[in-house]
Amino acid sequence: MVRVKLARGLGSLALAFATASCTEEVPQYTEKNSIECMIGYELQNEQCVWIPTSSSIPILPQHAQGPMDQLVMNVRHMGDPGSAELTGEVANPVTWDVSYYSGFKPPEPISNYQKGFLNEGAPRGTNAFQAYGDTVGGIINTWSFPHSAAVVGGGPHYTVSYNYSQPARAWISSNSKFTLQMYAAIPWVGVWGNGVGQLCMFLYLKDTSTNQVFAYVVEVFDSRPFGQGNGSESIGFDTFTSFVSTPLLASSQYISKTANSASLQNSSAFANEQFFEFQITAANLANAIQAVKSQSGNTALSNNLGDYVITSYGAINEVFVGTDPNNNISIGTHVRMLKGNLE
Query: CB-hemisphere CA count at 13 Å for 23?
Result: 26
How far apart are the C-alpha atoms of 105 and 82, rounded to whole Å?
32
Please determine, for residue 16, whether its predicted confidence score (pLDDT) is greater than 70: no
Least confident among 2-6, 113-117, 234-238, 329-333: 2-6
Check residue 300 and give its pLDDT: 86
Write out pLDDT tens, residues 241-297.
888 999 999 999 999 999 999 999 999 999 999 999 999 999 999 999 999 998 887
Check residue 48 and give its pLDDT: 56
**DSSP conformation class of 87:** H
Write out pLDDT tens, residues 128-137.
999 999 999 9
Average pLDDT (209-225) is: 95
Check residue 229 and give its pLDDT: 94
Least confident among 156-160, 173-177, 316-320: 173-177
Short-list 295, 304, 307, 309, CA closest to 342: 309
Average pLDDT (30-45) is: 50
Query: pTM value?
Result: 0.86
| DSSP assignments along 105-132, one per residue | -PPSSGGGSEEES----TTT---EEEEE
Average pLDDT (199-205) is: 97
Which own/partner contact pairs does 57-60 have at CB distance under 8 Å and 24+ positions apart? 57/131, 57/132, 57/133, 57/134, 57/136, 57/160, 58/131, 59/90, 59/115, 59/129, 59/130, 59/131, 60/90
Confidence tier at 152 by pLDDT (50, 70, 90): confident
Check residue 43 and give its pLDDT: 66
Contacting residues for 26 by C-beta, under 8 A, at least 6 apart: 162, 163, 164, 167, 168, 203, 310, 311, 312, 313, 340
The β-bridge partners of 203 are 216, 313
Check residue 105 and give its pLDDT: 97
Check residue 296 and give its pLDDT: 80
How far apart are the C-alpha atoms of 252 and 21, rounded to whole Å?
16
